[in-house]
Amino acid sequence: MRSFLLLVIPALSLSLVACGDDGGGTDSSGGDSGLMCMSGMHPCGTSCVTDQINDPAMGCRRGCGTPCPVPREGGNATCTSSGLCDVQCTAPFRKMGDMCVCVPMSCSEAGAQCGTAVDDGCGGRIADCGMCGDGRECDEMNQCGCIIDDAEPNETDLEAFLLGDFPDTPDTMMTFSEFTLNNADDVDIYRVRVRDSGDAAPTIRVELRNIAPGSNFELGAFYRCDSSPDTTRCDAPVGMTAMDTPLGRGCVSENPAQDPERVQLQTFCGGGDESGNLYIEVRSTTWMNACQPYELFVLVE
């Protein structure tokens, strides 16, 4: 009697995956979606190949060595988290399918507050982004800024705007109401020629009024005698001692908020002639984007 030996061989267990498009990009593998591949592999044609790194130049993780399509303009090729080719667009281009299409920007998207013929980002022009108003004008960057007054530039003593010749006999006084601080860093410096034409030394009073609501301005008044020594005294603000500065000898008024600022100087120069130059400085410690002119009053007596 013959005996038979039955061998039982366990089935080899393989982990297989179907490599079809799982959404979120373009499947550029060219593989057969019905081909089953082991984990860590994907189909290319009729074969299974090892997954690649996510590199658009190689067709991403599930690619077959063919670079991902690159948009003609407005973006670049990229890979999805699932390893498929995709495109990434930069504004004003937007993704439409596998392409980046330029969509004209609005005034706000273009960052324009005003002006005409504003670049829409797609080679065209936005016809009208409006006007500024309220003492403002549209600059070359299509932003609304304060109208630049006729005294500018006057940020240094060499650029100081001349307000006129002020003799002390008879008294000379003038009020100026057309000047502005056009931004938070603007500094206005003015010069007044003071002539000692009487028996007494000139007394100078300068006031800053009509400060824009919400803003806080400072007023400085400084004197340079034509002859030395210069011992000009500061009579106001009360208790303020005259200081020597590059603009001359004088002091600064720093009242809070919209309170008027006032500086009064008593000139004292060598040689018996107190003639000289008064320098007035206006600056802001708080500037609330207000373009209204301030008022400057000057009296020499």
pLDDT the model gives residue 10: 41
Helix (H, G, I), strand (E, B) or coil at 57: helix
Paired tokens of 88:
């990434």
Residue 56 has pLDDT above 50, yes or no: yes
Q: Is the peptide bond before 67 cis (omega within 30 degrees of 0)?
A: no
**Residue 185 burial (CB < 10 Å; 0-12/13-18/19+)?**
exposed
Q: Identity (one letter) of the amino acid at 63? A: G
Average per-residue pLDDT in the chain?
Answer: 88
Q: Using CA atoms, how far apart are residues 54 and 89, in angstroms rounded to an integer? A: 18
Q: Using CA atoms, how far apart are residues 21 and 11, in angstroms rounded to an integer? A: 30
Q: What is the pLDDT of residues 188-201, one digit of tens each?
A: 999 999 999 999 99
Q: Using CA atoms, how far apart are residues 80 and 16, in angstroms rounded to an integer? A: 22
* Arithmetic mean of pLDDT, 246-256: 95
pLDDT the model gives residue 273: 95
Q: Using CA atoms, how far apart are residues 5 and 23, in angstroms rounded to an integer? A: 53
pLDDT the model gives residue 211: 94
CA nearest to 295, candidates 271, 253, 260: 260
pLDDT the model gives residue 27: 55
**Is 208 within 8 Å of 261 (Cβ atoms)?**
yes
Backbone angles phi, psi at 202, to 5 degrees: -60, 140
Any idea which of 26-30, 35-39, 51-55, 173-177 has the lowest mean pLDDT? 26-30
Q: Using CA atoms, how far apart are residues 177 and 80, in angstroms rounded to an integer? A: 63
Q: What is the pLDDT of residues 80-99, one digit of tens each?
A: 999 999 999 998 999 988 88
pLDDT the model gives residue 11: 37
pLDDT the model gives residue 290: 77
Q: Using CA atoms, how far apart are residues 164 and 152, in angstroms rounded to an integer? A: 16
With cut-offs at 50, 70 and 90, classify the pLDDT of residue 109.
very high
* Arithmetic mean of pLDDT, 273-293: 93
Instruction: Specify the pairing of strand 294-300 against strand 172-179.
Output: antiparallel
Residue 23 has pLDDT above 50, yes or no: no
Residue 118 has pLDDT above 90, yes or no: yes
Instruction: Specify the pairing of strand 16-18 against strand 36-38.
Output: antiparallel
With cut-offs at 50, 70 and 90, classify the pLDDT of residue 216.
very high
CA 178 to chain CA mean position, Å: 27
Paired tokens of 203:
């007394």
pLDDT the model gives residue 1: 45
* Arithmetic mean of pLDDT, 169-178: 97
Q: Which domains does the chain have, with CATH numbers?
A: 17-102 (no CATH), 116-146 (no CATH), 161-300 (2.60.120.380)
pLDDT the model gives residue 2: 47
With cut-offs at 50, 70 and 90, classify the pLDDT of residue 243.
very high
Residue 187 has pLDDT above 50, yes or no: yes
Q: Please indicate whether residue 25 or residue 205 has the higher confidence score (pLDDT).
A: 205
pLDDT the model gives residue 91: 87
Q: Using CA atoms, how far apart are residues 31 and 21, in angstroms rounded to an integer? A: 10
With cut-offs at 50, 70 and 90, classify the pLDDT of residue 136.
confident
* Arithmetic mean of pLDDT, 110-132: 94
What whole-number percentage of the chain has pLDDT above 90?
Answer: 73
With cut-offs at 50, 70 and 90, classify the pLDDT of residue 25.
low
Which distant-in-sequence residues (6+ apart) come within 8 Å of 211 by Cβ? 217, 257, 258, 259, 260, 261, 294
Q: What is the pLDDT of residues 57-73, one digit of tens each?
A: 988 999 888 899 999 89
Any idea which of 16-20, 95-99, 104-108 has the lowest mean pLDDT? 16-20
